[in-house]
Amino acid sequence: MDIKTVAFVGLGVMGEAMCRNLARKGSWRVVGYDTRQEPMQRLQADGVTSATSLADAVAEAEVVLMCLPGGNEVEAVARGTGGLLSLVHRGQMVVDMSTAPPRLMRELASAFQAKGVEFADAPVARTRRAAVDGTLSVMVGASEAVFDRLKPILATMGTEITLCGGVGAGQVVKVMNNMVVFETTMAIAEAISIAEAAGVDGRLLFETMSKGSADSFVLRNHGMKHMVIDHYPEQAFSVRYAIKDLSYARELAKENGVNARCAELMHQVFEEAVVRGDGDRYTPVIRRGMMKGKAAVDG
């Protein structure tokens, strides 16, 4: 495939940074589209062309990338009135970089392939900082041929590009990644709560744990950067987003006959955080559900 134009649909917290790297590092014309004008205006400084509509964005693109909040939005953009399935033509490629149900990916792949359009899922992991730096981990579900054509594009946004299997496999790996992050967050929240109640300093606890077998990305980031100082911003990966992603993991477990008890417990913990009024805060805020008798004030 001779790629001259890449369309990027969805310029949110992650998408805007990813689109910027695509434009800065790639050799393609990049067309961006979002329902909000602000990110498109900011990206113009990086050479991204602002599309006036979804149809305008995909008209001349050989590859169309989507980075949307979740499965419902992906389905609406793909299958809705005036959506991608009504706009694309034979020879194009559509790639979903959102986090969405694996089942939906396979359904969309069949629908796009019926129109002669290749489809792949390529969700991303790591933080917003990684999106800005272009150091994301990208988990791809595609044929080997599609993966080979797509990899140079993904390499502008990530440093770890992994072919996980056929369509849907990228999403399986991504939702399992997030499930483990959520469950690890729960474990370290319990650890610091118990340790501090027993008279041990939380920062000392985590710094010591980071030197041993309990070390992890979650410990060093969610724990040491947020739980220790009891600070959970709203402009981050929120509890509500975690509930959405965890629902995909729970759905996948049920589809495959797995009794995922930890995932079910995490769902309950997240729902309790929403009831407390913490649904829009960064996920480590679940620690507050363990802080009995202690005022939790954001710093």
Question: Around Cβ 128, how many Cβ atoms within 10 Å?
Answer: 15
With respect to residue 298, please indicate whether it lies within any of the assigned structural domains. no
* Cα-based distances in Å from 192 to 180, 201, 209, 211: 18, 8, 11, 16
pLDDT band for 296, please (50, 70, 90 cuts).
very low
If asked whether residues 154 and 224 sit together in one domain, one would say: no
Residue pair 99/175 in contact (Cβ under 8 Å)? The answer is: yes
Phi-psi region of 29 (alpha: psi -120 to 50; beta: other; left: phi over 0): beta
If asked whether residues 159 and 176 sit together in one domain, one would say: no
93-139 pLDDT, tens digit each: 999 999 999 999 999 999 999 999 999 999 999 988 999 999 999 99
With respect to residue 297, please indicate whether it lies within any of the assigned structural domains. no
Question: Around Cβ 249, how many Cβ atoms within 10 Å?
Answer: 25
> What local confidence, expressed as pLDDT, does residue 299 receive?
44
Number of domains within the chain: 2
If asked whether residues 54 and 182 sit together in one domain, one would say: no
* Cα-based distances in Å from 204 to 88, 155, 194, 200, 223: 56, 38, 13, 8, 12
If asked whether residues 184 and 117 sit together in one domain, one would say: no
With respect to residue 296, please indicate whether it lies within any of the assigned structural domains. no
Paired with 95 in beta bridges are 65, 120
If asked whether residues 231 and 91 sit together in one domain, one would say: no
pLDDT band for 81, please (50, 70, 90 cuts).
very high
If asked whether residues 125 and 235 sit together in one domain, one would say: no
Stated as kind and residue range, the H or E segment containing 63 is strand 63-66
CATH number of the domain encompassing residue 226 = 1.10.1040.10
* DSSP reduced 3-state for 128: helix
Q: How many angstroms separate the CA atoms of 43 and 58, rounded?
A: 17
With respect to residue 69, please indicate whether it lies within any of the assigned structural domains. yes
Paired with 161 in beta bridges are 138
Please say which residue of 118, 140, 166 terminates a domain: 166
**Candidate list 174, 254, 292, 294, residue with the active-site label:** 174
If asked whether residues 72 and 134 sit together in one domain, one would say: yes
What is the span of the domain harbouring residue 97? 5-166
CATH number of the domain encompassing residue 71 = 3.40.50.720
Please say which residue of 134, 166, 198 terminates a domain: 166
Q: Is the pLDDT of residue 171 over 70?
A: yes
Q: How many angstroms separate the CA atoms of 190 and 125, rounded?
A: 24
If asked whether residues 110 and 189 sit together in one domain, one would say: no
148-162 pLDDT, tens digit each: 999 999 999 999 999
Determine whether 115 is an active site residue. Answer: no
Please say which residue of 126, 143, 166 terminates a domain: 166
With respect to residue 299, please indicate whether it lies within any of the assigned structural domains. no
If asked whether residues 25 and 123 sit together in one domain, one would say: yes
The sign of the CA dihedral 40, 45, 46, 50 is positive
